[in-house]
């Protein structure tokens, strides 16, 4: 899937971050979401590498990266902690400033990175999310029914870990197929890679630990909002036309409450934009990171 990419593994703050790199030009960090790995970018990253130095890591604890061990307060698994690790990753690769695109959980890490490290992030693209605090404040019975992963994975250990371990392939396929509008666009090769990692007990434990930080992540958002701390760099928001995460208000409107320079578009397909509509996603990312939007 990444034939032209170079594989590296960097030790950062007791974590081992598995990363792929290719291309030349300005550095662009690509972050995947749940329940996937860096392989989620396999249709998009090679195209972007024609103009950028593309860096594609597994999030801490996901895929072939290792994360922190159990943490009673869960602070080691917040998006702030992950953002700090990935800023160190980029520095270790020789990039003090860079742009970043993040999907799903990776998008949450990406916007936290832009808030906490404004001097590092030149441009930010967020795919199919709104800020965590906005999700929490909009939560209703109906929306909670659609967010079973937030509710289940956020339960104390070992409940979700045990349930998933009983049949990881079933749970993975359920998420991929029910969230996608075009599940056939998630290739067998990508699915096999996701399952390979999803069958690791350590990966499932890390995913659950990361979901248990949702309330802490919302607290960090609330502190930023209360102090009028906004995202300083240009922001591109992309979302599924099938399921706008911004609800009736709309994703673009929500992000304009968090940053001054926001553009965006709804794309065809479901949740997994990079796999379901890779060409449309690439067009939007090229225009944005080239400064044309």
Q: What are the tens digits of pLDDT across the range 281-291?
A: 999 999 999 98
Q: What are the tens digits of pLDDT across the range 32-87?
A: 999 999 999 999 999 999 999 999 999 999 999 999 887 777 799 999 999 999 99
The verdict on residue 27 lying in a domain is yes
What is the residue-level pLDDT of the chain in tens, covering all 293 positions?
A: 899 999 999 999 889 999 999 999 999 999 999 999 999 999 999 999 999 999 999 999 999 999 988 777 779 999 999 999 999 999 999 999 999 999 999 999 999 999 999 999 999 999 999 999 999 999 999 888 888 899 999 999 999 999 999 999 999 999 999 999 999 999 999 999 999 999 999 999 999 999 999 999 999 999 999 999 999 999 999 999 988 999 888 999 999 999 999 999 999 999 999 999 999 999 999 999 998 76
Residue-wise over 221-260: b if at least 16 C-beta within 10 A, else e?
A: beebeeeeebbebbbbbbbbebebbbbeebbbebbbebbe
Q: What pLDDT, on the 0 to 100 scale, is given for residue 293?
A: 64
Cα 195 from Cα 8, distance rounded (Å): 22
The verdict on residue 78 lying in a domain is yes
Q: Which residues contact 94 (CB under 8 A, 6 or more apart)?
A: none
Cα 223 from Cα 65, distance rounded (Å): 30
Cα 16 from Cα 187, distance rounded (Å): 27
Task: Report the DSSP pairing between strands 121-127 and 27-31.
Answer: unpaired
The verdict on residue 96 lying in a domain is yes
The verdict on residue 1 lying in a domain is no
Contacts within 8 Å (CB) and 24+ apart, 65-74: 65/15, 65/16, 65/17, 65/18, 66/15, 66/16, 66/202, 67/15, 67/206, 67/209, 68/14, 68/15, 68/209, 70/157, 70/205, 70/209, 71/209, 74/209, 74/212, 74/213, 74/216
Handedness of CA 108, 112, 115, 119 (dihedral sign): negative
Q: Which domain holds residue 121?
A: 6-289
Catalytic residues: 104, 271
Q: What pLDDT, on the 0 to 100 scale, is given for residue 274?
A: 98
The verdict on residue 52 lying in a domain is yes
Cβ pair 57, 31 in contact under 8 A: yes
The verdict on residue 45 lying in a domain is yes
Q: Match 């800023």 to its residue by tokens.
A: 87
> Residue 26 sits in a domain of what CATH number?
3.40.50.1820
Q: Which residues contact 289 (CB under 8 A, 6 or more apart)?
A: 26, 28, 52, 99, 123, 125
Count: domains in the chain: 1
Cα 145 from Cα 130, distance rounded (Å): 18
Give the start-end residues of each E strand in the chain. Answer: 6-12, 15-23, 27-31, 53-57, 98-103, 121-127, 235-240, 262-267
């Amino acid at each position: 899937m990444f034939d032209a990419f170079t594989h590296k593994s960097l030790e950062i703050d007791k974590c081992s971050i598995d990363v792929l790199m290719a291309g030349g030009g300005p550095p662009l960090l690509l972050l995947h979401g749940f329940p996937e790995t860096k392989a989620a970018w396999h249709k998009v990253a090679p195209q972007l590498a024609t103009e950028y130095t593309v860096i594609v890591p597994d999030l801490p604890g996901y895929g072939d990266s290792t994360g922190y061990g159990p943490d009673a307060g869960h602070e080691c698994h917040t998006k702030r902690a992950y953002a700090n690790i990935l800023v160190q990753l980029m520095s270790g690769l020789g990039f003090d400033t860079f742009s970043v695109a993040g999907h799903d959980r990776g998008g949450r890490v990406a916007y936290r990175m832009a808030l906490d490290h404004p001097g590092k992030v030149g441009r930010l693209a967020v795919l199919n999310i709104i800020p965590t605090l906005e999700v929490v404040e909009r939560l209703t019975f109906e929306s909670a029914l659609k967010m079973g992963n937030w509710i289940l994975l956020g339960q104390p250990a070992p409940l979700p870990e045990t349930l998933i371990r009983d049949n990881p392939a079933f749970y993975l396929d359920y998420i991929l197929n029910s969230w996608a509008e075009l599940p056939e666009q998630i290739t067998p090769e990508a699915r096999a890679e996701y399952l390979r990692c999803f069958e690791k007990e350590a990966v499932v434990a890390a995913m659950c630990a990361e979901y248990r930080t949702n309330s802490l992540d919302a607290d960090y958002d609330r502190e930023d909002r209360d102090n009028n701390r906004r995202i300083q760099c240009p922001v591109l928001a992309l979302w599924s036309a099938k399921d706008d995460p911004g609800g009736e208000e709309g994703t673009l409107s929500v992000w304009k409450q968090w940053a001054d320079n926001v553009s965006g578009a709804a794309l065809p397909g479901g949740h997994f934009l990079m796999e379901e509509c890779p060409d449309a996603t690439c067009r939007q990312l090229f225009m944005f990171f080239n400064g044309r939007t």
